[in-house]
Chain A
């Protein structure tokens, strides 16, 4: 048996040296950085976390295009896009606060755990000060929570669940995109005009946070105008073949099918619903109708003929005629050869809004950015006058109600604008029951 000889003095010395050694990096970092990933060199890194695979891969690819365009414009490249029309003139094409904008990308695969892991890598390994992107509310809520813990800003991409700025809202998170409640408030009066007040709706709903709140919102809005809800059926995300969910609709007594699906899921479910002859049939003495509350040109392209005449809502559409939209469509169209989607638009705008907030605050500190964005009113970014509400970090602006074009002039005109619903009609109190149960908390600068 070996005998170990420790003296009390030796142990104290070793402990003191070891402790100092361990503390040394912390001492340096705590004195050097006031917040997580404070940019100290000549560049600043943004993290673009988008789905390049999975049900929302089309949206993710378009988001990435727009984000790269935003970086180009922030660094003074191209024609400047919406920087020319933005009501704030704090950005001058020299990066952000004179630092060149660089970026890292990741594929979140439309999975919350993967999205958290890729965002974490961007924050810890690549030193990202802001994370944006994403096409699913599941991933947005997961990454928003991570950013809050890590002390970086999250500028949400395409996330439409009420929960993102409702029960899961966070001080470090901001959403430009509209939400399920706003969709329902904008769409319901149009549905009433098209199909009347005596209808019975059957809901097929993507089984995750976005689908749930979309279903709750549209069902509440249509029931308020007299519609009945026949059935609410949840379908797994990325199910592919929805035929076994669509077949029961035929004999359910419903005369409207509401597809609370998005992306590839919506393309598949709508195409299959049309294949099953739903649009050719009559129920309760009326023509059967299909409604897709959340819509996009990308989905319309995937659905092809099936999209004709189907009503829905969008956050933005490239055919809007304001100066901001025209500037963005020109930049994007000349670079990529086709018009941008609403997913591309919201990510582009969010990047500009972040950069502008840093420039106005004169600081990359997340708490300074939060202060600059809260209650901020702006214009020229494609949706008319817009407010970033301080209470929940949700943007309030006009909503676009659309429908599938009957005779599209080309592949880019598959969607027609029916009306632009004014902000007042879609505004709600921050403590509305559909958004209750959450609190922003304190902003977290990290470090």
Chain B
């Protein structure tokens, strides 16, 4: 029982990332009809917003400490971040420590701008082109973006720790009546799960309870009729592209303490997120979220030794196996709508 609970918890944070990326993918597909293979790159750019802020906050002034020596026996060069000089050692260190959550403030405008630039500069020229063209151009764009990141930040993962307050782990098992240290879960992964839940709820609330969201939903259902009512649906859809980019970016920012960012992390998540979208049902926002968590948890279960001893290698293919089974039994995915990608 405890092993099952651990794997469910374990699947939640991975599932949260899949769900957030798949949500953005579905928003773009549902509104603009574009299959955006550059969406993983947006997740990666978000993660690098955290890296960038961490680098900015640790820009340091160098002083020489004549009392101490470096590894070559020369007087030691001591690096002190400017923020520690400006705000004092304690507050300065706390600001550096909280770089990842603070990066959210940087990531939101950056990602919306990147989203606008991507949509207005490139993707809008491919609205009327076949899906194959859209996939090729967005995939090419993803490669360009990751090579740009590689050029500026290098190929190696960059450690981006969570604030020290969240570096420990929580003994969830004790709450549920198990022995101590039976079910342990890191604080930051819980933070990520709740953060993802909040973002998903906010996106749904925005679409459900605002006039803007209502128009977007109407546009997703029948773009032509909404246009005939005199509403500039294209402008709203462009804004939705920016929103989807921001969701992917925020998912990336908060994921950095779980997995040190590197330039190809977007590609790693993209393929799985597409499977999530297909399993959830093309164009279905609740489907994307449901499938994200479902596949995250299933992937986690497939890594259990008991499962792997029965089916070696299953942890590597479980997501694709589930996708095959669901598409054979429910060709539109779990919550897919009739008519989407069926023309």
Name A residues whose Cβ lies closer than 8 Å to a Cβ of B: 52-54, 57-58, 61, 231, 233, 236, 240-241, 243-245, 247-248, 250-251, 264, 267-268, 271-272, 275-277, 280-283, 302, 304-305, 318, 329-330, 333-334, 338-339, 409-410, 412-413
Contacts and interface: CB of A to CB of B under 8 A. Distances in A.
A54 B68 CA distance: 37
Interface string B69-93: 0111000100000000000000000
Contacts of A264: 156-157, 260
Contacts of A54: 155
Given A236-B316, A276-B186, A412 B71 contact: yes
B156 A57 contact: yes
Interface of B: 2-3, 6-7, 9-11, 13-14, 68, 70-72, 76, 150, 155-157, 159, 161, 167-169, 171, 181-186, 188-189, 258-260, 265, 268, 299-300, 303-305, 308, 315-316
Nearest to B155: A53
Contact of A410 (B70, B150, B169, B183): B70
Contacts of A52: 155
A282 B181 contact: yes
Contacts of A281: 181, 184
Contact of A250 (B14, B157, B181, B303): B181
A333 B71 contact: yes
A250 B161 CA distance: 23
A159 B157 CA distance: 21
Nearest to B77: A337
Given A245-B303, A281-B181, A330 B10 contact: no
Contacts of A338: 71
A333 B305 contact: no
B260 A243 contact: no
Given A275-B169, A276-B169, A329-B71, A241 B258 contact: yes
Nearest to B180: A281
A268 B259 contact: yes
B186 A244 contact: no
B183 A248 contact: no
A160 B299 CA distance: 31
A281 B171 CA distance: 10
B71 A318 contact: yes
A333 B70 CA distance: 10
A338 B316 CA distance: 39
24 contacts: A57-B155, A58-B156, A61-B156, A233-B305, A240-B265, A241-B258, A244-B7, A244-B299, A247-B6, A248-B305, A250-B181, A267-B157, A267-B159, A275-B169, A275-B186, A275-B188, A276-B186, A277-B184, A281-B184, A302-B159, A304-B161, A329-B71, A333-B71, A333-B72
A304 B159 contact: yes
A409 B65 CA distance: 13
Given A244-B299, A245-B303, A250-B6, A277 B157 contact: no
Nearest to A288: B181
A276 B185 CA distance: 6
B303 A244 contact: yes
A268 B71 CA distance: 27
A70 to B, nearest CB: 19
Nearest to A319: B71
Contacts of A329: 71-72
B268 to A, nearest CB: 7
Given A250-B181, A339-B71, A277 B299 contact: no
Nearest to B6: A247
The 10 closest A-B pairs by CB, nearest first: A244-B303, A277-B169, A275-B186, A281-B181, A53-B155, A277-B184, A247-B6, A244-B300, A57-B156, A333-B72
Contact of A267 (B169, B186, B260, B308): B260
Contact of B268 (A57, A240, A276, A334): A240
Given A245-B303, A251-B182, A302-B159, 16 more contacts: A57-B156, A58-B156, A240-B268, A247-B6, A248-B6, A248-B305, A251-B2, A276-B184, A276-B186, A277-B168, A277-B186, A280-B169, A304-B159, A305-B167, A334-B72, A410-B70
